[in-house]
Structure 1
Amino acid sequence: MTILKSTIAALALSAVTMPAMAADEYKLHENHTWVQFAVNHAGWANARGIFRGVSGDIVFDKDDVTKSSVKVTIAAETVDTNDQGRDDHVRSPDFLNALEFPEITFESTRIEQTGDKTAVIYGDMTMVGVTREIALDTTWNAEFPLPWDANTVKTGFTATGSIDGTIFGMNKLTEFGLGPVVEVFIDAEAIKQ
């Protein structure tokens, strides 16, 4: 009986003194991260585009996702809507004003877990010099080493959200029959540091 008590006491003590697992840090894999958007064009169809310059850092605590964080920077000038003239207009002061405001940023403020692999990430998005809170419904897809490089571990997420462009001052959206709600679709792969 004494051995059993000693074993239980030792296990209890180790559980109390064992340090908590640290959150893992990741860098977005820039050419495997897609930030896409769709906006209704006067009811005819959705106009779509992608940002090609995306970088960012993720702190991912798998034991408690509410302690995780995300910080992303998008180069506004890298918008691509499959038409050079339209891209130039989107970069102009009518919309993104990319010359004056070259970066679109997102920094998480809180995360609410909604399922085993799902969460809502709330954060401050700054675009055209205006900061507003947005929410992204996010799914953690998978994590494992690269098949050809066991030392490189990659994790992946998918996120979606809706943003009203007029809250960022892009009032010209409605003048051109666009949105004003912009649907956002994100697929992100990140490399463990």
Structure 2
Amino acid sequence: MKTLPKVLLSLLAPLPVLAAPVTYNVDPVHSFPNFAIGHFGMSTIHGRFEEMNGRVVLDVAEKTGSVDIRIKAATVNTGDAKHEPGSFAARNYGPRSRDEHLRSADFFNVAEFPEITFKSTKLTFSGEALESVEGNLTMVGVTRPVKLRVTLFKCGPNPFSKKPMCGADLEGSIKRTDFGLKFGVPAISDEVKLSIGVEAYPE
């Protein structure tokens, strides 16, 4: 009978607050999908897309979440945006720049497929840290599964604004021929390495 008051007190004590999923909006100013591709087996060309947005949902306590990303294909940038008449590039490669070529039907065909999307199917955690993200990548109307390793994951206050935020670096690779992007293979590598930096803030 002596234990009954303790039992009653435990029942009356407030229940712990359960963690809930938090939805984050991707910060387009600090989030960019970068890529690297072998060129003639002699060097590596680096590039990125300048416009990416989306949402990330995380429930660290339950080890669940989702990632939904949209990339504007026409914003591809490899540092060769325009060939000025009489320039080295114009004399050797013609009037069309590499970025213009990448927007054409030979590659991303941005007129017909303006967006590249990624929708997650599985998030894997190690403790409270996000370890990998698996999902479906869609380019030029073709969807293929992709797994991205998370090499950095951290949530906390922005050191300047003090607003809560999360950030992550993700890495992976794809074969562009899996998406029908066959132009220039094998002189221009089939494998494309991906490196994506993401920062996001709660809605």
Alignment of 1:91-130 (within 5 A): 91-114=103-126, 116-130=128-142
Distance 1:154 1:114 in 2: 20
Q: Which of residues 139, 143, 160 in structure 1 aligns to 2:155? A: 143
Find the counterpart in structure 1 of residue 75 from structure 2. 78
Distance 1:59 1:28 in 2: 11
- Please list every run of 5 or more consecutive structure 2 residues that lacks an aligned counterpart in the other structure: 82-96
Find the counterpart in structure 1 of residue 197 from structure 2. 187
TM-score (norm 1): 0.88
Cα offset for 1:114?
Answer: 4.2
Find the counterpart in structure 2 of residue 33 from structure 1. 31
**2:24–2:202 contact (8 Å) kept in structure 1:** yes
**1:96–1:128 contact (8 Å) kept in structure 2:** yes
- CA gap 1:24/1:76 in 2 versus in 1, 3 angstroms: same
CA RMSD of aligned residues (A): 1.9
The residue type paired with residue 60 of structure 2 is K
Q: Does 1:162 align with 2:173?
A: yes
Distance 1:117 1:125 in 2: 23
Distance 1:184 1:92 in 2: 21
Task: Return the index of the structure with the highest Cα Rg.
Answer: 2
The residue type paired with residue 53 of structure 2 is S
Distance 1:143 1:72 in 2: 19
Greater helix content = 1
TM-score (norm 2): 0.84
Distance 2:49 2:191 in 1: 17
The percent of aligned pairs where both chains have the same amino acid is 33
Matched positions, count? 186
- Please list every run of 5 or more consecutive structure 1 residues that lacks an aligned counterpart in the other structure: none
**2:34–2:48 contact (8 Å) kept in structure 1:** yes
